């Protein structure tokens, strides 16, 4: 056996990852694909790479040094289970099976348990950055046993993206921790994209600037605290002209956003954990709303604001207010995402270093940004920070932005321009700040119709008012 690492599944992600591995000093890569043609293609197109092809699972296993270490890059779901089962038949105890696909973290928890009980090591690894990342340096989020990390760590460090001199990979935690963090990463990506889209829409409709002019604004923003890959590519998309019509490309693209489901997973999981990720949820729902042409077709005639369409007196000032609203909302969205990771770790018994997570997202992945350094600083200063946005740096930034943020939310509501992520982020912020919430009234209602009881601000215990009797208060069993 000559290979120190193997890849199963040679579609676009697997073949790019295999090429990345093969290009690094010290790696010899065993490759296998169910249908032979993909393996033949990879070998023919990349004679420079030191691949050791196998044409059966037996051959693939025989080509690997022990402990055998294999990364699976096949379709998530049943195909991944099928490959794991096949590898377990030809591997030996102590060998390491890594799932690099986009698996749901609960599947990873289930698989890790089954594979471990059979004597193997199982690593569920989030891989971010798409095809380009897989080839040139992804952000990697492996979860699994410490034992596997000893062998795997150096290999993964050799292929990961590098940000500020550090490889974008860290051992996230046990079993499903890596795929969980990758899921939340994708959810944050949804929120970030929606916020940028709202900013563009408000500027366009408020100032009448062209997409090309707005591209210049985003390019300018990319030189400041918003510097990020998503802001950078937004400028490029807005600047693109359609060859067929001569119009801005953004004006000929159908306004229905698709989704592959990881945003929905993030929100579903947050609901189960009781974590308000309103920015991610609104972003996911906004894509859903856009994708219902039949509903939108019958809704165009709904009455809008009776006041005249909004006029912006000072376009430069307005653009700056939108920038501040975007930055503040982005802080909220990331804070909520990290809150979900914190809650997930508590629920599933993972120890996750949130600062390390923010650092490995600085390169290779879609949400790579300057901003992640500020998050790392916040967790460096206080690793147990209960709410990320209460770190001093963010408090200052939110304080600086909040008047503009409130103004933009008012203006968008007044003008009838939807800004669900801007406004829900502000509502979350004000909800956190509130000294008293109307939740007291909700507890009263719950006690009225369901005897769900309430606690008092002035003494310990659990209480119930005899609503259908004489309305006196009695001490009650805690029925939560």
Distance CA 150, CA 41 (A): 33
Sequence-separated contacts (24+) of 34-37 with Cβ below 8 Å: 34/9, 34/74
Binding ligand NBP (rule: CB under 6 A), the pick from 74, 203, 238, 375 is: 74
Nearest to 259 by CA among 245, 244, 230, 280: 280
State yes or no: is 455 an active-site residue.
no
End-to-end, the C-alpha distance of the chain in Å comes to 59
The active-site residue, picked from 25, 38, 166, 182, is 182
129 is in an annotated binding site: yes
- Phi first, then psi, for residue 31 (nearest 5°) are -125, 145
Nearest to 275 by CA among 57, 428, 64, 473: 428
Residues 37-56 as x/- pattern, contact with ligand NBP by CB under 6 A: -x------------------
- Nearer of residues 131 and 201 to ligand NBP, judged by Cβ: 131
11 is in an annotated binding site: yes
Neighbours of 20 (CB within 10 A): 22
- Nearer of residues 182 and 323 to ligand NBP, judged by Cβ: 182
Tokens coding 241: 């002209």
CB of 422 to ligand NBP, least distance (A): 27
Interaction with ligand NBP in 451-470: which residues (CB under 6 A)? Answer: none
- Nearer of residues 39 and 336 to ligand NBP, judged by Cβ: 39
Binding ligand NBP (rule: CB under 6 A), the pick from 79, 145, 153, 261 is: 79
Q: Any contact of residue 76 with ligand NBP (CB under 6 A)?
A: yes
Distance CA 29, CA 445 (A): 63
Binding ligand NBP (rule: CB under 6 A), the pick from 35, 384, 468, 472 is: 35
Distance CA 124, CA 127 (A): 10
Binding ligand NBP (rule: CB under 6 A), the pick from 101, 144, 173, 206 is: 101
In the complex, which residue's CB is closest to ligand NBP? 101
Binding ligand NBP (rule: CB under 6 A), the pick from 34, 46, 110, 205 is: 34
Binding ligand NBP (rule: CB under 6 A), the pick from 4, 63, 128, 194 is: 128
The active-site residue, picked from 48, 112, 132, 189, is 189
State yes or no: is 182 an active-site residue.
yes
Kindly state the number of chain residues that form the binding site for ligand NBP, as judged by CB under 6 A.
Answer: 23
CB of 141 to ligand NBP, least distance (A): 10
Neighbours of 300 (CB within 10 A): 6
Nearest to 222 by CA among 209, 236, 208: 236
CB of 192 to ligand NBP, least distance (A): 15
Q: Please name every residue paired with 122 in a beta bridge, in sequence order, or none if there are none.
A: 97
Q: Any contact of residue 258 with ligand NBP (CB under 6 A)?
A: no
| E strand or H helix at 251 | helix 249-252
Binding span for ligand NBP by CB under 6 A among 73-81, 241-249, 415-423, 437-445: 73-81
∠ CA 142-144-146 to the nearest 5 degrees? 105
User: Cβ neighbours of residue 288 under 8 Å, at least 6 residues apart?
Assistant: 259
Alpha helix stretches (DSSP H) within 139-210: 146-159, 177-207
Helix (H, G, I), strand (E, B) or coil at 220: helix
- Interacting residues with ligand NBP (CB under 6 A): 9-14, 33-35, 38, 73-76, 79, 82-83, 101-102, 127-130
**Annotated binding residues, as ranges?**
9-14, 33-35, 74-76, 102, 128-130, 185-186, 190, 260, 287, 446, 452
Active-site residues, by number, are 182, 189
């Amino acid at each position: 056996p000559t290979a120190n690492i193997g890849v199963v599944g040679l579609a676009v992600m697997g073949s790019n990852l295999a090429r990345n591995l093969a290009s690094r000093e010290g790696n010899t890569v065993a490759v296998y694909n169910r249908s032979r043609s993909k393996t033949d293609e990879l070998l023919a197109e990349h004679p420079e790479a030191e691949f050791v092809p196998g044409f059966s699972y037996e051959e693939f296993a025989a080509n690997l040094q022990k402990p055998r270490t294999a990364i699976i890059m096949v379709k998530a779901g049943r195909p991944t289970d099928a490959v794991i089962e096949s590898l377990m038949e030809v591997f030996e105890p102590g060998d390491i099976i890594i799932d690099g696909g986009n698996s749901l973290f609960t599947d990873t928890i289930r698989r890790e348990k089954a594979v471990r009980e059979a004597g193997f090591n199982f690593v569920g690894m989030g891989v971010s950055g798409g095809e380009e990342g897989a080839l040139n340096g992804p952000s990697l989020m492996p979860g699994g046993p410490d034992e596997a990390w000893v062998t795997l760590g150096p290999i993964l460090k050799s292929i990961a993206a590098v940000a500020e001199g550090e490889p974008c990979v860290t051992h996230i935690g046990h079993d499903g921790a890596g795929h969980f963090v990758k899921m939340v990463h994708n959810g944050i990506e949804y929120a970030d994209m929606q916020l940028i889209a709202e900013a563009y829409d408000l500027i366009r409709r408020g100032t009448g600037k062209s997409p090309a002019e707005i591209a210049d604004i985003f390019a300018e923003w990319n030189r400041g605290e918003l510097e990020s890959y998503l802001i950078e590519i937004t400028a490029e998309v807005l600047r693109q002209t359609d060859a067929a019509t001569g119009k801005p490309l953004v004006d000929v693209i159908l306004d229905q956003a698709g989704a592959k489901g990881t945003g929905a997973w993030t929100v579903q999981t947050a609901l189960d954990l009781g974590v308000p990720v309103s920015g991610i949820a609104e972003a996911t729902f906004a894509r859903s709303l856009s994708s219902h042409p039949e509903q939108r077709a019958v809704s165009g005639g709904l009455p809008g604001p009776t006041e005249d369409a909004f006029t912006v007196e000072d376009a430069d000032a307005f653009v700056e207010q939108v920038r501040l609203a975007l930055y503040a909302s982005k802080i909220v969205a990331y804070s909520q995402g990290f809150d979900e990771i914190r809650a997930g770790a508590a629920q599933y018994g993972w120890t996750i270093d949130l600062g390390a997570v923010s650092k490995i997202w600085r390169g290779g992945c879609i949400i790579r940004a300057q901003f992640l350094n500020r998050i790392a600083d916040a967790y460096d200063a206080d690793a147990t920070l209960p709410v990320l946005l209460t770190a001093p740096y963010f408090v200052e930034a939110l304080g600086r932005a909040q008047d503009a943020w409130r103004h933009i939310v008012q203006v968008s509501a007044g003008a009838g321009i939807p800004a669900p992520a801007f406004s829900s982020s502000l509502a979350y912020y004000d909800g956190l700040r509130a000294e008293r919430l109307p939740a007291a009234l909700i507890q009263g209602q719950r006690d009225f119709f369901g005897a769900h009881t309430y606690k008092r601000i002035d003494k310990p215990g659990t209480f119930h008012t005899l609503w259908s009797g004489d309305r006196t208060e009695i001490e009650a069993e805690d029925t939560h």
